[in-house]
C-alpha cells in the first residue's frame, strides 16, 4: 500500500472519526482526497499530521480535523451548490467537491488561486470553479448558495455573503477581533430577512482581508 494511503486512512480514523465526526460522506471524502497533493513538496511527509501547514504567501492549509468539523457543521446532504471563501491550496474545496454537486471557491492571492486551480485540476476535481477575487463580496453570478464555508477570520459576518445564501442555507465562518483565536459561527438564513447565529467554539484562522473583511495593509497588499 502507498504509505500516503495508509496515513490517510489512519488520519480519517484517528483524527476525524475518533473525535466525533459521524457523517459518512465526510469520512469518505477525507479518506479519498490526497492531502499530500495540496501541500508544498517540502511538507508532503507531514501531510497527514494533526496541524495546519504553510502553503506559501504567509497562508496555511487548515488542520484536517477543522476542515471536517466545519464541513460537518454545514449539514450537507449531497447535491448542493457550495461557495468557499479562501481557497488556499484547494484542499477544503476538494473535500466539498467529493460531497456536493458544484463548488465555487474564491481566493484573493493570485499565486494561491493558481496553486488551488492546478492542484484541483491535477486531482480531477472538475466540479470546483476557482475565482481570483475578494471573496467578502461573494460570487453574485452563481448565487444563491446552499452553503458557504469561510476559511479565514472576519471582523463580522459579511452582509454580501448572508445575502447570497438560499433561505434555509447555512454559512460557517470564524469571527472575532483577536488574531490568535476567533469564534466559529454558524449562520442560518431561516427566512428572507431572518438569520440565526450559533457559536460552535474557538478556532484560529488567518485574517479575511477585503471590502467586508479586514482592511488591507501594505504587507498583505493583493498580488
Q: How far is the CB of 194 from ligand SAH (least distance, A)?
A: 26
**By CB under 6 A, how many residues form the interface with ligand SAH?**
27
Residue in 25, 37, 44, 62 annotated catalytic:
62
Report the C-alpha gap between 178 and 97 in whole angstroms. Answer: 31
Choose between 106 and 172: whose C-beta lies nearer to ligand SAH.
106
Q: Give 80 or 154: the residue with its C-beta nearer to ligand SAH.
A: 154
d(CA 126, CA 141): 19
Closest CA to 172 of 69, 61, 60: 69
Cβ of residue 33: shortest distance to ligand SAH, in angstroms? 10
Of residues 101 through 130, those in contact with ligand SAH by CB under 6 A are 106-109, 112
**Crossing angle of the two packed helices 91-99 and 64-73, in degrees rounded to 10:** 40
- Determine the 3-state secondary structure of 63 from DSSP: coil
Measured from the CB atom, the residue of 121 and 190 that comes closer to ligand SAH is: 121
Query: Do residues 62 and 204 make contact, with C-beta atoms less than 8 angstroms apart?
Result: no
How many angstroms separate the CA atoms of 163 and 140, rounded? Answer: 10
- Residue 62 annotated among the catalytic residues of the structure: yes
Q: Cβ distance 128 to 84 under 8 Å?
A: no
Burial of 147 (0-12, 13-18, 19+ CB in 10 A): buried
Q: Per CB under 6 A, does 158 bind ligand SAH? A: no
Helix axes 24-32, 3-11, angle to 10 degrees: 160
Pick from 30, 96, 100, 208: which binds ligand SAH (CB under 6 A)?
Answer: 208
Q: Which of residues 12-71 bind ligand SAH (CB under 6 A)?
A: 55, 59-62
To the nearest whole angstrom, how small is the minimum distance from the Cβ of residue 103 to ligand SAH? 11
Minimal distance, residue 191 CB to ligand SAH, in Å: 27
- Shortest separation between residue 184's beta carbon and ligand SAH, angstroms: 14
The span from the CA of 177 to the CA of 207, in Å, is 10
Site for ligand SAH in 178-197 (CB under 6 A): none
Q: How many residues does the chain have?
A: 223
**DSSP secondary structure letter of residue 157:** -
The interface region with ligand SAH, picked from 20-28, 75-83, 87-95, 173-181 by CB under 6 A, is 87-95
Q: Which residues bind ligand SAH (CB under 6 A)?
A: 55, 59-62, 85-89, 91-92, 106-109, 112, 134-136, 151-152, 206, 208-210, 213
Catalytic residues: 62
Amino acid at each position: 500500500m502507498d504509505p500516503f494511503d495508509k496515513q490517510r486512512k489512519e488520519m480519517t480514523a484517528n483524527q476525524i472519526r475518533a473525535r466525533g465526526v459521524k457523517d459518512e460522506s465526510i469520512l469518505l471524502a477525507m479518506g479519498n482526497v490526497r492531502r499530500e497533493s495540496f501541500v508544498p513538496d517540502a511538507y508532503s511527509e507531514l501531510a497527514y499530521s494533526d496541524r495546519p501547514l504553510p502553503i506559501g504567501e504567509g497562508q496555511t492549509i487548515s488542520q484536517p480535523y477543522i476542515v471536517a468539523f466545519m464541513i460537518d457543521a454545514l449539514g450537507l446532504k449531497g447535491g448542493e451548490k457550495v461557495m468557499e471563501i479562501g481557497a488556499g491550496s484547494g484542499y477544503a474545496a476538494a473535500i466539498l467537491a467529493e460531497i456536493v454537486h458544484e463548488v465555487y471557491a474564491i481566493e484573493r492571492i493570485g499565486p494561491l488561486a493558481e496553486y488551488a486551480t492546478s492542484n484541483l485540476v491535477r486531482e480531477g476535481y472538475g466540479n470546483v470553479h476557482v475565482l481570483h477575487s475578494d471573496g467578502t463580496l461573494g460570487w453574485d453570478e452563481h448565487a444563491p448558495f446552499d452553503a458557504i464555508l469561510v476559511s479565514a477570520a472576519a471582523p463580522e459576518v459579511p452582509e454580501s455573503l448572508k445575502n447570497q445564501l438560499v433561505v434555509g442555507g447555512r454559512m460557517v465562518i470564524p469571527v472575532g477581533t483577536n488574531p490568535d483565536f476567533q469564534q466559529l459561527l454558524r449562520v442560518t438564513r431561516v427566512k428572507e430577512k431572518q438569520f440565526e447565529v450559533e457559536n460552535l467554539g474557538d478556532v484560529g484562522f488567518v485574517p479575511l482581508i477585503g471590502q467586508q473583511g479586514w482592511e488591507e495593509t501594505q504587507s498583505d497588499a493583493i498580488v
